[in-house]
Chain A
C-alpha cells in the first residue's frame, strides 16, 4: 500500500518543471514525429491533403503544411529547414511520374534521403513499382483508411 502511494506521488511530480526542465536534460522525452504534407504540381485544390494533415495531427504528429503548387525544390528546402521525419506527397494532376522522382533526386543530392517519403492522391497501380524504385516508401491510393497511413508513418520513420 505504502510503496504504491509513493510511486504515484513520484509519477505525479514528474511533469513538474523540476523533472521536465526548461533547460537541460530530459527525463521525459518530448520528441514528436514531424511530417511535411506537400502538394507538388498544379492541382487546384487540397481537400484530400488537408484531411490527411488533420488526421496526422490528431494522431499526435506535428504537421507542416505549405499549401498548393510546390516545386520539388521548395518541398526539399522546407523538409530540411523543418527537420521533418516524413514527407507526404499528394498529387491529383497526373504529374507524379515527373515530380515524385525529382523530389527523391533532390533529397539524395542534399544528403537527406533518410527522410521517409510516402505518396498519395490519384496514382495508377502500374506506376507504383516505378515510383518505389526511386525510393518512395509507400503509395496510398484513394480510399486508404487514414489509420493505415498513420500506422505506416509511426512504424517506419527513423527514430
Chain B
C-alpha cells in the first residue's frame, strides 16, 4: 500500500488503513512520517484523555465505562492501551482489550494495544504519533491508558489535554506516591472501586492534600468516586472531563499549551535532523574515525573536536546557501 493510498484510506475512515499506519508508526517505518506529514492538517480536533494509575486499579474497566457514556452522548471514541514489553524478550502480553469487549463490534470505537518496546515513562515511544493517526481518522475523543506503574507515567501530561488519575480505596501509603508527583499531573482524581471499604476516606484524604496547594489556578482537580464494574459515578466523570477541556479553552491555556507543544516538537525534529545529517556526513570518513582514535588515546579532547566538527558543518552549509 502506497503512502497516498494509506492517507486516503485513513481520511476515508477505513479501519484497515488506520491499523496499517499504526503498525508502520510502531515499527518506525520510513513511510510513517511521510503519511503523518500529509495527515497533520487533519489533526488537532480530538480531545485526548489520559487514564493513569497503579496496576489493577481498574483503568481498562473505567475506560470501557467512559466509552459507553461517551457513545451515549454520540461521541466517537479511539482507545490506545499501553502495556509494558518484557525487557528480556522484547515481547509483550497486551491484555487490556479483555475488559473492552462491550464495544468490540461498535464501528465508532477503535481500540489498539501497544507494547512499550523498551520505552519508559508509561507510554511507548510512538504513542503520541499513534494518537495523531487516530485523531486524523476522526475520533472525537481518544482515551490513552498508560502502563500501570504507579509513579512514573508523567509523559502522559505532554500528550493528553486531560489526565485522569485512578486510585483505589485502602493502601494508605500510595498517598505518598500521589504526593511525590502524581498530584501534579492529575486534572481529575478518581477513587475507583467505590464499592470497597474506605473509598470515601480515600477521597477525603486526596481532597485534603489538594487543599494544601494554594496556587492560583483556573482549574481545581475534582475528586470523584466510581465503580467501574457497575458504571456508578461515570456520568459525573465524563461531565468533568468535558468541563476540563472547556476550562482549558476558555482560560487560553489550551492555545498556550498547543504552542508549547508545537515548539517542542519542531525543535525535537530539527535536533534530530541536524544530528542525523551531520553524522551521516561524518561516519565512514577516515579522518572522523582517526579523530575518535586520537580522543581515545588522549591525543585530542572531545570538547575541541566536537566544536570544530559542528562549526565546519554549519559553515559549509552557510556557503552552500550562498
Binding site for B on A (CB under 8 A): 2, 5-6, 9-10, 17-26, 29-32, 34, 53-54, 56-67, 70, 73-74, 77-78, 80-83, 110-112
Tell me whether B120 is interfacial, beta carbon within 8 Å.
Answer: no
Q: Are B272 and A54 in contact (CB under 8 A)?
A: no
Candidates A20, A58, A73; contact of B91 at CB < 8 Å:
A58
Q: How many residues of B contact A (CB 8 A)?
A: 47
Distance between Cα atoms of A65 and B93 in the complex (Å): 7
Shortest CB–CB separation between residue A75 and chain B, in angstroms? 9
Distance between Cα atoms of A24 and B269 in the complex (Å): 9
Distance between Cα atoms of A30 and B29 in the complex (Å): 9
Shortest CB–CB separation between residue B12 and chain A, in angstroms? 15
Distance between Cα atoms of A2 and B292 in the complex (Å): 10
Q: Are B292 and A9 in contact (CB under 8 A)?
A: yes
Given contacts A2-B293, A6-B289, A82-B19, whether A32 and B30 have CB atoms under 8 Å apart is no
Shortest CB–CB separation between residue B275 and chain A, in angstroms? 5
Interface code B283-297, partner A: CB below 8 Å = 1, 0 otherwise?
100000100110010
Shortest CB–CB separation between residue B98 and chain A, in angstroms? 4
Q: Are A26 and B111 in contact (CB under 8 A)?
A: no
Candidates B85, B86, B104; contact of A78 at CB < 8 Å:
B104
Docked complex: B2-55 residues within 8 A CB-CB of A: 15-16, 19-20, 22-23, 26-30, 33
Chain B's closest residue to A111 (CB) is B16
Given contacts A6-B289, A6-B293, A17-B272, whether A32 and B28 have CB atoms under 8 Å apart is no
- Taking CB atoms, residues of chain B closer than 8 Å to A66 are 97-98, 101, 104
Q: Are B276 and A21 in contact (CB under 8 A)?
A: yes
Given contacts A63-B94, A64-B97, A64-B113, whether A24 and B19 have CB atoms under 8 Å apart is no
Q: Are A18 and B97 in contact (CB under 8 A)?
A: no
Candidates B90, B125, B272, B293; contact of A60 at CB < 8 Å:
B90
- Taking CB atoms, residues of chain B closer than 8 Å to A59 are 89, 91
Tell me whether B253 is interfacial, beta carbon within 8 Å.
Answer: no
Interface code B116-157, partner A: CB below 8 Å = 1, 0 otherwise?
010000000100010000000000000000000000000000
Tell me whether B268 is interfacial, beta carbon within 8 Å.
Answer: yes
Q: Are B293 and A82 in contact (CB under 8 A)?
A: no
Tell me whether B105 is interfacial, beta carbon within 8 Å.
Answer: yes
- Taking CB atoms, residues of chain B closer than 8 Å to A63 are 91-94
Distance between Cα atoms of A125 and B269 in the complex (Å): 57
Tell me whether B240 is interfacial, beta carbon within 8 Å.
Answer: no
